[in-house]
Every structure is written in C-alpha cells, then in structure tokens.
Amino acid sequence: MGSPIRILTAVPICDGHDSAINTINLEFIRHGIEVVYLGYHRSVGDIVRAAVQEDVRAIGISSYNGGHVEFFAEVVDLLRKKSAADIKVFGGGGGTITHEDAATMRRKGVDEIFFAGTSLEDMVKFAHQRYGKPRGKRARAKTSDIELARMLTEIEDGYAKIKGKTSKTRPAMSKSSTRVIGFTGPGGAGKTTLIDELVLRFLNKDRQSRVAILSHDPSVIGEGALLGDRATMINSQNDRVFMRSMATRGQAGGLSPATQDCLALLADSDFDYVIIETVGTGQEAMPFRKNGIVDQTVLVMNPDYGSRLQLQKIVMLDLADIVVVNKSDLQRARTAHTEIGQRLEQNRRAQRLVDTVAKRHRDSGVDKLFGLISASDKSKRGKERKKS
C-alpha cells in the first residue's frame, strides 16, 4: 500500500477566514489525504518552515483578505530559497482572487488557483492527480532540516509499504546531551498547549538550544488524517523548533508504526530537547516502552476523569515520572489533585504531581513543570538506561 499524500494547509497572515479551509480539510481527509493544518493568520516564514519540516508534497493556501499575489509569490520564493522547490503551492480565495491575479500567480510558480464555485470533488481530484504519484528522485538536500525531514519521510513511507510491520529496533540511544521527554494522556487534556508553553520556556532559557517535537494524531490504515497540533501552537512556530506531525496509520496505543525509528533519528540529531506527544490515549495505553529512549514521561490529565475508581485503571499512572493535572482552574481540580496524589503514593516511587493551567500566560504550574524537566540530571539517567 502506498503512503498517503501529505499536504499542508494554511490561511495567510492577517486573515482569519478559516471556514472554507476547514471544509476542504475535511474533504481531503475523507479522501485519504493526510492534512497538516497550520491554522490561520500564518506568516510566509511559518508556512514554509512547517512545509519543509513536514516534508509535504504541497501547500494549500486559502486567502480571503487580499494581498494574495504577493503572499503566494513569497511562499514560492521562500521555498526556492530554502531549496525546497519540490514542495508545490496551490490555493484559492473565493471571489477575492481575480482571473488576472490567478494568471499572475501561476506565472510566479503557483500550481493552481481554485475560484468560487469549484466543487470539493474537483479539488480532491486535483490533489490526487497532481500530488499522488510517487516522488521522483530528489535533488540532494541542502540543509540539515530538509535532510532530516526527508529521512523521516523515508522511515514513515518504509512502514507504509509493509502493512502491519512494526518498528524494527534501532539502537535505542540518544546523544548524551539530548533529553527526550514523552507526553501522553487523554484527548483534550491540553498536551499540545502544555508543550507549546514549555517550548517558550526552553527557547527563553538559552538562546541557542533547539527543540524537536514529534506529534501524533490518529488515523486508520490507508485513510487520511487531520494533523492539527500546529494550528494551536504559537511559540513553536520558530526556527529553533523542528516539529513533525505523524498519523498513527492504524496502530493502536497512541503512536505510529514508524515512531520508534523516527524518534531515534531525532534523538540522535542535533537537538537539546526532543518532545514526543502521543494521540489522546485510553486507560490501557503505555505508549513508551520501558528502557526506551524516552528519558522522562509526563502524563497529562484532565481533572474530569470520572470516579476515583477510574484512576486505578490508568496504567500510565504507574509508569509516568511526572503526572500533570492540567486545567487546574476547573472546579474539580482539587479533588483530582488529592485523588491522584493518593494513587501515586501507592506506587512508592519518586513520581511528581504538578498542577498547571497551560492556557494561562506565565502559569506558575508550567514553570514548575519546566523546572522538573529541564533540571533533572540527564547523564545519570542516561547511564541507568544503558545498564538496564
């Protein structure tokens, strides 16, 4: 089975018209396309950076607020400048883009502009016909980000070819200077927001460090997926952050068949922190293997987990190094803190419990979590892992 087409979609800077793109995203997904959705009000730099890192086949831009001739041209130009001209650009914008504009835009390197009244079917057909064929031989990667992005694609596509294949085990070793942190927890607990807030703190801590994020969204084999974590991130749109969104492509448990290998590659690359985020998981999930390359695991909980009994069933409560009760401004947060605290005590391990309100700017809980993550002794943990 071939790999799904990966397309990045976005709405330009100073434009919040996301109604059309939301509909188109859903239609693409229904027809087997993996859509990395970057959201609205996104700059040329943000779009091109994301497209390069995600190694998508094409960028679809939905523009309603004018300035499209310049904006599309800048995207094409920046892709060229970044030696990523094999990523194509298409888009539309209802009535705001005239036929004359469209002609200019095509001349400047845009593949296709859809006008008002184009059916969703036609757009899907276009995407399949134009971007569905396997890529030919690609020119040598000129930057390390491109090289890394392509290697990730190769790993992912390798698994797609062999249905049901699970991760071959690469040497589970990260560079001693790289910390790998795994985030998991039920959907809607606020993992993405929390990670984005932590990224802000990583970036501010020192001016050189780089962070990689490997983020997951669910999908069924051979079908599309909405990879939407980037759309709600604000601090991670940064040249010092390398983010890759992966669909689980049919694997249960919160990760993709290719995750282990992709993670190993990232951990072995030049990052100070590698963050891995699972899909929203169920009670039985244990996404990170014991003695794997994840240095530290964080379970992010919502205060609304149901009764105290439910806590006994959550396997990750035994395994996580840090448990976060996010949204701790909710009424139930106190109860949650007490109950989860007692649950962790049974384990008699040095697990930490942190309350956060990730949506809040400069939240002291997130500061505390950041302290726990960034301060723990990497080299010692690394040795422990190798011994075991």
Partner 1 sequence: MSKLGQVVESVEKYNQFVLEEVKRARSDQKFGRDLLGRWNDIKAKIPITRAPTGLPLPRLALPEIDEPGEIARFLFGEGLPGEFPFLNGAYREMYLEPIREVESFEKNGEVKKSKTDKKIPQAEEPTRLFSGLMLAEDTNERFHFLTAHQRTHRLSTAFDGPTLYGIDSDADGVFGKIGEGGVAIDTVEDMVRLYDGFDLGSAIFSASMTISGPAPIIMAMYIAAAKRRFGSSVVPKLRGTIQADIFKEVQAQNETIFPIEPSLRFLTDMVEFTTREMPRWYPISISGYHIGEAGSTPVQQAAYTLSNGFAYAEMFAARGIPVDQFGPRLSFFLDCGLDVEYIALARVSRRIWAIGMREVFGAGPKAQLYKLHTQTSGRSLIAAEFKNNLTRTAAELMLAYMNATNSCHSNSADEPFTTPSEEWIRLAAHGQAILLEESGIFKHTMNMLSGSPGMKAVERAVEAAILEEFREIERLGGVLAAVEDRYQRSQIQNASHRYEQQINDGTRPIIALNKYRNGSDEDMPEVKLARTPRKKQQLQVDRLAKFKKKNAEKSKRALDKLAAVVETGKNCFPELLDAVEVCSLGQITGRLQEVVGRFRPMV
CB of 371 to partner 1, least distance (A): 20
Q: CB neighbours (10 Å) of residue 346? A: 10
Q: How far apart are the first and last CA of the chain?
A: 38
Q: Which positions from 22 through 81 interact with partner 1, judged by CB under 8 A?
A: 22-23, 26, 37, 39-41, 43-45, 65-67, 69-71, 74
Q: Tell me which of 1, 2, 16, 103 binds partner 1, using CB under 8 A.
A: 16
Q: CB neighbours (10 Å) of residue 134? A: 7
Q: Closer CB to partner 1, residue 179 or residue 191?
A: 191
Greatest Cα pair distance, the chain, in angstroms, is: 70
Report yes or no: 243 and 271 within 8 Å, Cβ to Cβ: no
Q: Closer CB to partner 1, residue 98 or residue 374?
A: 98
Phi and psi (nearest 5°) for 337? -60, -45
How far is the C-alpha of 222 from the C-alpha of 160, rounded, in Å?
9
Q: Closer CB to partner 1, residue 178 or residue 193?
A: 193
CA 318, 323, 325: angle at the middle one, nearest 5?
135
Here's the x/- map for partner 1, 193-212, by CB under 8 A: it reads as x--x----------------
The answer to the question of residue 137 lying near partner 1 (CB under 8 A) is no
Q: Tell me which of 83, 104, 120, 374 binds partner 1, using CB under 8 A.
A: 120
How far is the C-alpha of 326 from the C-alpha of 93, rounded, in Å?
38
Q: Closer CB to partner 1, residue 61 or residue 266?
A: 61
How far is the C-alpha of 366 from the C-alpha of 318, rounded, in Å?
22
Q: Tell me which of 3, 77, 86, 98 binds partner 1, using CB under 8 A.
A: 98
Hey, what are 265's tokens?
Answer: 């590659």
Return residues touching partner 1 (CB under 8 A): 12-19, 22-23, 26, 37, 39-41, 43-45, 65-67, 69-71, 74, 94-96, 98-99, 115-117, 119-120, 193, 196, 228, 231-234, 359-362
